[in-house]
Structure 1
Amino acid sequence: MVRRSPPRVVVATVVVAWVLTVGAQVAAAVWGARGQEPVPPAPTRVERPEGCGDETCRVLASTVVNGMSVELLADSRGDAGRLRAGGPVSGTVTTTRITGDGVRLNHDSLRCAASATPVCLVRGPRDGGMAGEVHVWRGDSWEAVGEVYFSDLGVLVLDDVVGTAMPEVLVARETCTDRDGSCRELRAVAEVLTLDGARAGCTRARRSPGELPGWPDVEVGRTDLTTCPDGLDPR
């Protein structure tokens, strides 16, 4: 015959087992919390803005070309510049060269042309005229092309003159037309250069800049071009 424990003894045994189990779990939780170092929250990443000289860049001029935002950045004096594509969150920024030659950028320093690929001209006053540089969008960044251009008549623009679906650089300049090279009288011409620096031609030499087509916003067509004067500096 099997002897059974009294009911009270069974209940007491179950209660004690439950208390011991819960106590072990609580102890494990407490010791586990003490054994782990507190995990600090992840730091908030703050992007440092690109500097223009010793200052934070500010937007000096902006436009949209081929659906892409293009901004000219500079310091407060305009003597340290950057060209940015894609807006404030973009990292696609290139440094301008002409500011190193003493050119100060202003609100009229950015000119862009919509073409098969975006092309932008960054320009500014220098030595009584205007100097500028050309940037072409290639791949996913800007690339400076050609030399620094200079117009002693202060006219430097982008325009598709010869109909290649890409703009050329139009530079209004003074030149000598005297065959003996004495330069007794200067003439005004509008020179058209392709983006690789080759000459597409010049307008006929005029007695004064005001006689150039469309002056002061010089506009030249393909039929206006002829051979450039011999006295015109190839640069």
Structure 2
Amino acid sequence: MEKLGSRAPRSVLVTAAVAMVVVVGTLVAVVALRPRADQAEEPASPGPGPTISGAVDPTVCGSSPCQAIATQEVNGEKVTLLASADSTVARLDVGAPPSSATVDLTITEQGVKLSQDSLRCLGGTVAACLVRGPVTGGQVGEVVANRGSSWEIASQAYLSDANYIGLADVAGTEAPEVTVVRHDCPTTAQDTPKCAAAPVVAEVFDLGGRSIGCTKRKYTSPSQMRGYPTIRLSTSDLGSCG
């Protein structure tokens, strides 16, 4: 999939260590996540996601029984979001739980609270599920994808300071993309009232975390974007990320 812009992604791939900073009540992490225009960083290639081994009881989340938070069907398979009562441990179970296709999630280590609205799945040639939830200063999401033989975490976590991370087939390739809405403000203005009041743009990423482009238009809020509350963009809406 060809990028529309040559500029490195500005806002969204976050490691667990960085996102923990967000949880303790600061948006300084957002600044660190947006490379400057003169940086030519390439997104890190995602490694295989963690899976449950036979030695681990898939019905137990941490020290308590797993609770079913949400379920969806994708490509004829049932996907269940399981979590402990306090949302500190969570996993996706594909098939009739407990199944052998189980993936541990990492965003709960960042303080994300899960709900029935946390799970969004899309089928296709490559099926994928997005798990998202609120943290202090925005929303964090994580994508698990099935590339034919197994389900695994597709990339590092995404951060939206405008509280929207979605999953949609933007490019029409039968593989979903991740849509992340963020405030359009300079890195130096992050964590300021001026930035919080700035217009927003949506940036679209493939499942590997590579930026496809940003919306050409700027919006007052995510609710102005087509299809909200499930934003639906096309490649004609996208240009380079300014």
Q: TM-score by structure 2 length?
A: 0.68
Pairs within 5 Å for 1:12-91: 50-91=59-100
Counterparts in 2 of 1:220 and 1:94: CA distance versus 1, 3 Å: same
Q: For residues 216 and 118 of structure 1, what CA distance do their matches in structure 2 show?
A: 21
* 8 Å contact from structure 1 (residues 203, 226) kept in 2: yes
SS of 1:104's partner is: coil
For residue 12 of structure 1, what is the aligned residue in structure 2?
A: none
Shift of 1:48: 5.4
What percent of counterpart residues are identical? 39
* Bigger Rg, structure 1 or 2: 1
What is the aligned partner in structure 2 of residue 223 from structure 1? Answer: 236
> Is 1:116 aligned to residue 128 of structure 2?
no
Deviation at 1:89, TM superposition (A): 4.2
Q: 1:106 aligns with which of 95, 99, 115?
A: 115
SS at match of 1:223: helix
Distance of 1:51 and 1:138 partners within structure 2? 27
Relative contact order higher in (CA < 8 Å, ≥ 6 apart): 2
**Take 2:82 and 2:225, find their aligned partners in 1: how far apart are those partners?**
33
- Give the letter for the 1:206 counterpart: K
Inter-CA distance 216–86: structure 2 relative to 1 (3 Å threshold): closer
TM-score, length-normalised on structure 1? 0.70
Shift in alpha-carbon separation, 1:207–1:94, aligned structure 2, 3 A = closer
Q: Does 1:198 align with 2:210?
A: yes
Partner amino acid, structure 2, of 1:190: A
The one-character-per-residue Cα deviations of 1:123-162 (angstroms, maximum 9, x if unpaired) are 1111231101111124543210111001111111111111
8 Å CA contact 2:126, 2:176 repeated in 1? no
The 5-angstrom pairing of residues 147-162 of structure 1 reads 147-162=156-171
Aligned partner of 1:212 in structure 2 is 225
Tell me the number of residue pairs that the alignment of Structure 1 and Structure 2 aligns: 181
Find out whether 1:187 has 2:199 as its counterpart: yes
1:158-194 deviations in whole A, cap 9, x for unaligned?
111111111100001012269xx66866221010011
Give deviations 1:53-78, integer Å, cap 9, x for gaps.
22100111001100011100011122
Structure 2 unaligned runs (5+)?
1-55
Residue 129 of structure 2 aligns to a residue whose secondary structure is strand
Using the TM superposition, name which of 81-90 and 215-224 deviates more. Answer: 215-224
Closer, same or farther: CA 48–148 of 1 in aligned 2, 3 Å: closer
User: Which segments of 5 or more consecutive residues in structure 1 lack a partner in the other structure?
Assistant: 1-46, 230-235
Say whether the 8 Å CA contact 1:105–1:124 is kept in structure 2: yes
CA RMSD of aligned residues (A): 2.3
Which of 166, 169, 180 aligns to 2:178? It is 169
Distance 2:174 2:98 in 1: 31
Relative distance call for 1:225 and 1:49 in structure 2 (3 A) is closer
Distance 2:110 2:140 in 1: 9
